[in-house]
């Protein structure tokens, strides 16, 4: 039985967030199947070499999102 994608994401998120330029992770879909998304401020060759294409049977997609900023409290 495959490991649930939520568990795989939790197991790897801290290591990915330690990579400069990685701003988040998420669960998404690729071709109608679940995938792990690694969100980056900007794609780079360094990030591409440090993020695997697949983890525990799930595809990993690097998605360029830009920086995230918190909105001021209202």
Higher pLDDT, 29 or 70: 29
Q: List pLDDT tens digits, range 17-66.
A: 999 999 999 999 999 999 999 999 999 999 999 999 999 999 999 999 98
Position 1 scores a pLDDT of 66
pLDDT of 70 above 90? no
Position 2 scores a pLDDT of 83
Q: Domains of the chain, with CATH numbers?
A: 5-64 (3.30.300)
Q: Could you tell me if 70 and 25 are in contact, meaning their C-beta atoms sit under 8 angstroms apart?
A: no
Paired residues of 24 in beta bridges = 39
**Cα separations (Å) of 57 from 7, 12, 17, 44, 70?**
13, 14, 21, 24, 33
Strand order in the sheet with 22-30: 22-30, 33-40, 58-64, 54-55
């Amino acid at each position: 039985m495959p490991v649930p994608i939520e568990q795989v994401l939790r197991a790897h998120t801290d290591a990915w967030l330690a990579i400069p330029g990685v701003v988040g992770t998420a669960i998404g879909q690729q071709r109608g199947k679940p995938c792990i998304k690694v969100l980056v401020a900007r794609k780079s060759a360094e990030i591409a070499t440090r993020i695997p294409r697949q983890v525990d049977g799930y595809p990993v997609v690097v998605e360029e999102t830009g920086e995230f900023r918190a909105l001021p409290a209202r």
